[in-house]
Copies of this chain bind each other. A is one copy, B any other.
Amino acid sequence: MTFKEKGLLIVLSGPSGVGKGTVCKALRQSGTNLQYSISVTTRAPREGEIDGIHYYFKSRDEFQHMIREKKLLEWAEYVGNYYGTPIDYVRQTLDEGKDVILEIEVQGFFQVKERFPEGIFIFLAPPSLQELKKRITGRGTETAELIQNRLTVAKSEIDLMKHYDYVVENDEVHAACERIESIVTAEHCKRERIIEKYKKLSEVDK
């Protein structure tokens, strides 16, 4: 009998335009061990797109059936088409001991959090937030209105990020990737995970 440590589900989200796709692509190219889930969609394949590689292409009926059967970790409708994450692929990959990274829009957060509370939720923050300090405490040449607008944006982003486990500032893609990889490594070192592993090992010969 052997004991296999389960993989972690890493959920990367953040405001539209923050660079989630770019960061995910860079992570994929950096040779990290993270697995990417393949989305299901009802939109037509574009030239060169292959079913089961770029997307799982389904009819609207098939997609709605997946929704009803709770076969999707999250799903949304954009411009008349459905997009979603098949839960079976995720569970199977985690059971194989591999970590899975999932890139979602902020709207999908609560769906995934509800169905997979043990996921690691990372909020990718725009570099403007990082520069907030410089801007606010800058040379005092900004108008009060401009400063107020920036604070309002910052506060609405704090409201979004407060549900997440980690916040990674996307000041530079390479730096953001390194932080995400560090989070994955650190999560694997968490005491409760390691103890769980040892406890299971110690029970092997009972």
Contact = CB atoms under 8 A, between A and B. Distances in A.
Contacts of A50: none
Interface stretch (A62-70, A76-84, A186-194): A186-194
A2 B137 contact: yes
Contacts of A165: 190-191
Interface in A105-130: 122-123, 125, 129
A183 interface: yes
B167 A204 contact: no
B195 A161 contact: yes
Contacts of A167: 189-191, 194-195
A36 interface: no
A202 B168 contact: no
14 contacts: A2-B133, A3-B133, A125-B194, A133-B201, A137-B201, A151-B202, A158-B198, A161-B195, A164-B191, A167-B195, A181-B182, A182-B182, A185-B186, A186-B187
Interface of A: 1-3, 122-123, 125, 129, 132-133, 136-137, 147, 151, 154-155, 157-158, 161-162, 164-169, 178-179, 181-183, 185-187, 189-191, 194-195, 198-199, 201-202, 204-205
